[in-house]
């Protein structure tokens, strides 16, 4: 592992207590200073999700569906990109952001990936604590597969995944409803306003704003929706999840998918329940985003 990335990986571990402290500070200020209703049970569920993932699942379950593909891509890479200058880091940043955009867009449109990503969208309030609720099943979904092309091109896996971690760390501050629109930054960056729309389940806001650090790929691929002052965001899933049980939160969509597959009448339906859009039903009566809209 290049020493710079080893140091970065260490630094990211130290970011965990800082992130939790800032989210807790927000919760305290909203509760005792702003005197707003704050869902502390949801806060606890998100914290349990974060700690179980970082100190349980990641340490003891190294298995990921993507590992063989990553190994193969690195072994058969086209070239080796030397990470020794600004241009190489700029390419790594933009390449990672591009892969992130497609990971994220697919996670909203293919139920197999949504089964994990739904967890991030399950909080019914938009707070900093919700930022680190990602679920426990990312490795099972194989979400790292989306970065295989970058590795095949010649970017070292450790550099790609360290950049992804930085991308996710950047997104922490986006999860809050009290930071207003930020002027010209809204054109380039993913901001709290853009991410509020992303987490909203109002029909007009569904399936939009997939960027990580940047919002430019949403502009390019036509998935940008701008927050409207006269349309307050309603946060959470289209069919709200009301539990605060961390394991129910982590596995609810997997269980629903398994139930649908079990009860399906044909193999075509079974495949559609797994690889079709979330909410798909054979009778067309489901909650697919396009139909909801
Ligand atoms: Zn999302
Ligand atoms: Zn988010």
* pLDDT value of residue 63: 66
Give the distance (Å) from ligand 2 centre to CA of residue 1: 30
Domain ranges of the chain: 3-221, 248-292
Whether 247 contacts 204, CB under 8 Å: no
- Alpha-carbon torsion, ordered 110, 111, 113, 114, to 10 deg: 110
* pLDDT value of residue 159: 93
* Residue numbers in the chain where pLDDT is lower than 70: 1-4, 6, 10, 58-63, 285-287, 289-293
Give the distance (Å) from ligand 2 centre to CA of residue 131: 6
Beta-ladder partners of 215: none
Give the distance (Å) from ligand 1 centre to CA of residue 27: 22
Say whether 235 sits in a helix, a strand or coil.
strand
Give the distance (Å) from ligand 1 centre to CA of residue 121: 6
Instruction: Give the number of whichever ligand sits closest to the CA of residue 209.
Output: 1
pLDDT tens-digit readout, 67-99 = 889 999 999 999 999 998 899 999 999 999 999
Say whether 214 sits in a helix, a strand or coil.
strand
Give the distance (Å) from ligand 2 centre to CA of residue 200: 10
Report angle CA 266, 271, 274 to the nearest 5 degrees: 130
* pLDDT value of residue 230: 96
Say whether 54 sits in a helix, a strand or coil.
helix
Give the distance (Å) from ligand 1 centre to CA of residue 206: 10
266 Cβ neighbours under 8 A, 6+ residues apart: none
Instruction: Give the number of whichever ligand sits closest to the CA of residue 133.
Output: 2
Distances (CA, A) of 93 to 24, 83, 88, 271: 30, 12, 9, 35
In angstroms, the CA 168 to CA 189 distance is 14
Give the distance (Å) from ligand 2 centre to CA of residue 267: 34
* pLDDT value of residue 166: 92
The closest of 15, 49, 43, 16 to 28, measured between CA atoms, is 43
pTM for this one?
A: 0.93
**Residues belonging to the chain:** 293
Give the distance (Å) from ligand 2 centre to CA of residue 39: 17
Give the distance (Å) from ligand 1 centre to CA of residue 226: 16
């Amino acid at each position: 592992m290049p020493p710079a990335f080893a140091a970065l990986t260490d630094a990211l571990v130290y970011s965990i207590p800082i992130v939790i402290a800032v989210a807790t500070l927000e919760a305290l200020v909203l509760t005792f200073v702003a005197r707003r209703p704050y869902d502390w049970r949801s806060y606890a569920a998100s914290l349990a999700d974060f700690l179980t993932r970082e100190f349980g699942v990641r340490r003891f379950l190294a298995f990921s569906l993507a590992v063989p593909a990553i190994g193969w891509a690195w072994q058969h890479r086209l070239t080796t990109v030397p990470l020794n200058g600004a241009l190489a880091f700029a390419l790594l940043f933009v390449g990672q952001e591009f892969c992130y955009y497609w990971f994220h867009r697919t996670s909203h449109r293919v139920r197999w990936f949504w089964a994990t990503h739904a967890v991030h969208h399950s909080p019914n309030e938009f707070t900093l604590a919700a930022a680190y609720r990602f679920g426990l099943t990312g490795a099972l979904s194989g979400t790292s597969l989306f970065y295989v092309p970058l590795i095949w091109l010649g970017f070292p896996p450790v550099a790609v995944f360290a950049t992804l971690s930085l991308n996710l760390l950047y997104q922490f501050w986006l999860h809050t409803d009290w930071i207003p629109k930020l002027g010209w930054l809204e054109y380039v960056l993913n901001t709290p306003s853009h991410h509020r729309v992303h987490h909203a389940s109002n029909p007009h806001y569904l399936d939009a704003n997939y960027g990580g650090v940047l919002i430019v790929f949403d502009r390019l691929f036509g998935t940008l929706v701008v927050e409207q002052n006269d349309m307050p965001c309603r946060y959470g899933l289209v069919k709200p999840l009301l539990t605060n049980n961390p394991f129910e939160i982590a596995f609810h969509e997997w269980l629903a998918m398994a139930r649908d597959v079990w009860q399906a009448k044909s193999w075509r339906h079974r495949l559609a329940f797994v690889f079709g859009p979330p909410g798909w039903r054979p009778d067309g009566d489901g909650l697919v985003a396009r139909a909801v809209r």
